[in-house]
């Protein structure tokens, strides 16, 4: 069993206390809301793609520390990156959180490795991956916030992860 220190590490607690890129974007090209129906938590992710580069991203919502820290670190990790880089990171994060791949096989995961411990807590995996599913849903939405917000991104197909 994972000791709480292995999941509730200082970096996660810090991102929960002071989430980075928290709030809304005035001119978002992509937007989605992700719900976790198990607990009622929800996270919204908005970003602006300038050609293929994510030049700004923000999130907000009601969520547990694992989910909020995951969202905060996600936004920090992909800001300034290309959409392709972000899609790669989504795959790697999901593979890590669901225990499908070891950290050795995840070349881009970096500091996000602090979430590796959720694989031992099946009920918390969804908390950690909700922001990533939501980001994936946002990438696949039209350039407005409209009806996509009604869809549950937990069901959005995500590559082969």
Q: For binding to another protein (CB under 8 A), which residues are involved? A: 1-4, 7-8, 13, 16, 38-41, 62-66, 121, 123-124, 127
Comparing CB distances to another protein, the nearer of 20 and 126 is 126
Comparing CB distances to another protein, the nearer of 65 and 76 is 65
Query: CB of 156: closest distance to another protein in angstroms?
Result: 22
Could you tell me if 20 and 58 are in contact, meaning their C-beta atoms sit under 8 angstroms apart?
Answer: no
Query: CB of 150: closest distance to another protein in angstroms?
Result: 19
What the block records as the tokens of 143 is: 């350039």
In the chain, alpha helices (H): 4-7, 10-17, 65-78, 83-97, 122-139
Query: CB of 38: closest distance to another protein in angstroms?
Result: 7
Comparing CB distances to another protein, the nearer of 64 and 140 is 64
Comparing CB distances to another protein, the nearer of 64 and 82 is 64
> 83: which residues sit within 8 A by CB, 6+ positions away?
49, 52, 53, 54, 139
Query: CB of 42: closest distance to another protein in angstroms?
Result: 9
Q: Output the CA–CA distances (angstroms, integers) from residue 94 to 109, 127, 138, in the order listed.
A: 11, 12, 16
């Amino acid at each position: 069993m994972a000791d709480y220190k292995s999941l509730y590490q200082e970096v996660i607690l810090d991102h929960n206390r002071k989430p980075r890129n928290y709030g809304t974007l005035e001119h978002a090209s992509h937007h989605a809301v992700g719900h976790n129906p198990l607990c009622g938590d929800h996270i919204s992710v908005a970003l602006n793609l300038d050609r293929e580069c994510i030049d700004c991203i923000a999130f907000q919502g009601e969520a547990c520390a694992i989910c909020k820290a995951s969202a905060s670190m996600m936004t920090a990790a992909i800001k300034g990156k290309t959409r392709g880089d972000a899609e790669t990171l989504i795959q790697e994060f999901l593979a890590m959180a669901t225990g499908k791949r070891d950290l050795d096989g995840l070349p881009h995961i970096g500091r996000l490795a602090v979430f590796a411990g959720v694989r031992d807590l099946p009920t918390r995996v969804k908390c950690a991956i909700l922001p990533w599913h939501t980001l994936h849903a946002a990438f696949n939405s039209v350039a407005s916030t409209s009806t996509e917000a009604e869809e549950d991104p937990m069901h959005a197909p995500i590559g082969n992860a």
